[in-house]
Amino acid sequence: MTDKWKYNSVSLKNSTYSNLNDLSETLVPGVKLSKAKAIEKLIADKNKAKCSSRDIKGEHNDQETKD
């Protein structure tokens, strides 16, 4: 049974859902990701780029993350 405290859902417009479906096939060459994994990868990549740009600018994120 799925742990309801560990997962959330998201609502998307049909056109966005269709775009996500296309991205899930092209995001990682040769691998078809699930829609959830595609969203996770997009967010992780964006967050990584955001953190990298902070390091380049000399800014640092001193906030602790909560699990």
pLDDT tens digits, 1-52: 778 888 889 999 999 999 999 999 999 999 999 999 999 999 999 999 888 7
pTM across the whole model:
0.68
Contacts of 24 (CB under 8 A, 6+ apart): 32, 33, 34, 35, 37, 38
Quick check: is 5 in a domain?
no
Number of domain units in the chain: 1
Q: What domain range is 36 assigned to? A: 14-57
Q: How far is CA 35 from the centre of its chain?
A: 10
Quick check: is 9 in a domain?
no
Phi/psi region, residue 30 (left: phi>0; alpha: psi -120 to 50; beta: rest), is left
